Amino acid sequence: MPEMDGLEATRTIRAMDREDAAEIPIIALTANAFDEDVERSLQAGLNAHLSKPVEPEDLFETLESLIPE
């Protein structure tokens, strides 16, 4: 992203004065797969971190866990 990376975008979204800012699911889809990358994502407020190549089943399970019924 030209203006900010996904971690900064997530921090910006989470800091918004909106009712849904803390609840909207945000998932990292990234080539960064080290443990410290996952930790940075979670500390920034992302709900999940999936490394590329993303397995469809992992994506579906993650989405199901984050989207309320």
β-bridge pairing 48-51 and 27-30: parallel
- Structural domains of the chain, with CATH: 6-66 (3.40.50.2300)
- The span from the CA of 49 to the CA of 47, in Å, is 7
Q: Residue 46: exposed, middle, or buried by beta-carbon count in 10 A (0-12, 13-18, 19+)?
A: buried
Q: How confident is the model at residue 1 (pLDDT cuts 50, 70, 90)?
A: low
DSSP E strand stretches across the chain: 27-30, 48-51
Residues near 56 by beta carbon (within 8 Å), at least 6 away in sequence = none
Q: How confident is the model at residue 2 (pLDDT cuts 50, 70, 90)?
A: confident
How much is the average pLDDT of 50-62?
97
